[in-house]
Amino acid sequence: MMAEHRNLIDDAGQFGKVAVLLGGRSAEREISLLSGTAVHEALLRRGVDAHQVDAADNVIGALQSGGFDRAWIALHGRGGEDGTIQGLLEIMGMPYTGSDVKGSAICMDKLRTKQLIEGAGLGTPAYRVINSVHDFDSVIDQLGLPMMIKPAAEGSSIGLTRVTERSGLAAAFSAAAGYRCEVFAESWATGREYTAAVLQGEVLPLIRIDAANSFYDYDAKYFSDGTRYICPCGLDAGTEAELARMAIEAFVAVGAEGWGRVDFMMDAQNQPLILEINTVPGMTSHSLVPMAAAAKGIEFDELVWRILETSFAGQMTTSRRVGVADAG
């Protein structure tokens, strides 16, 4: 497949004054502050006129009065990754990094993402929506145990619970429903977990995740030193290429752009299943996209620069064909 065009910028001055949007009010505020601070520091090292703007503090006023030319979105979760801030920036006429309103909104909704992935003919774990306690028995009958209970509109594994017996389902459902969004159950995949970072139309080398916990939860993602990240991921070249192809097809199916991450699990038959798509992945010391970029020879500051390049008009468009980078 033909690789997408990269908007190559070689002069920091071409970016103008950049707002690094971070923080916000979502359940992922803590991680966003870490990501945004790291991004801001990287841009400064590269000579970019970058400034932190906390989206929790009158973001409209700050953007209007700041004289900014574009925004590097380092917001995770609701209000930053769901199309909300993207819509505001569109109204203001301010270019920004990553996916547009549509792609951001779709990917933040895990349930709709799964439906589109299914529609594209790609594998994803079986799932059922849970509306009330009256659905518990039928969901167990259809999916079996163990299963994962998920809120449809949260990221970073927030609100997820692994349920191994029926007695635990009520508490798991209540915890997920507490995030004021749809709740669904997903069948438990027993194989290994992999992630594919997408950058300007290319898939970077895949990473295998070996979590110390029963699954790759919030603590394992951002704070645990017990989680192991393996890159090269150990898959044979053909299988890795297949996951990369699936990642690109999923990215296109949901309208994602610029950069992001596609997460996989292998099932009992070693078939890849797509879990979710992240349009603003973490950029912390434990984050996966920087790890994948490093494996490709792209150091952190260069990665942050390349993501900022996606803020230019004519950035990635899902109507164009995209390519897979050499994973070696």
Supply the residues annotated as catalytic: 28, 156, 222, 261, 263, 276, 278, 282
* CB 261, CB 80: distance < 8 Å: no
| Residue partners of 325: CB distance under 8 A and separation at least 6 | 3, 202, 203, 204, 296
Handedness of CA 216, 106, 90, 246 (dihedral sign): positive
Residue found under tokens 């999923």? 250
* CB 1, CB 322: distance < 8 Å: yes
Kindly tell me the burial class for residue 6, based on how many C-beta atoms sit within 10 Å of its own C-beta (0-12, 13-18, 19 or more).
Answer: middle
Please write down the HEC assignment for all residues of 13-55.
HHHCEEEEEECCCCCCHHHHHHHHHHHHHHHHHCCCEEEEEEC
The count of other CB atoms within 10 Å of the CB of residue 127 is 21
At 86, phi and psi to the nearest 5? -65, -40
CA–CA distance, 232 with 244 (Å, rounded to integer): 14
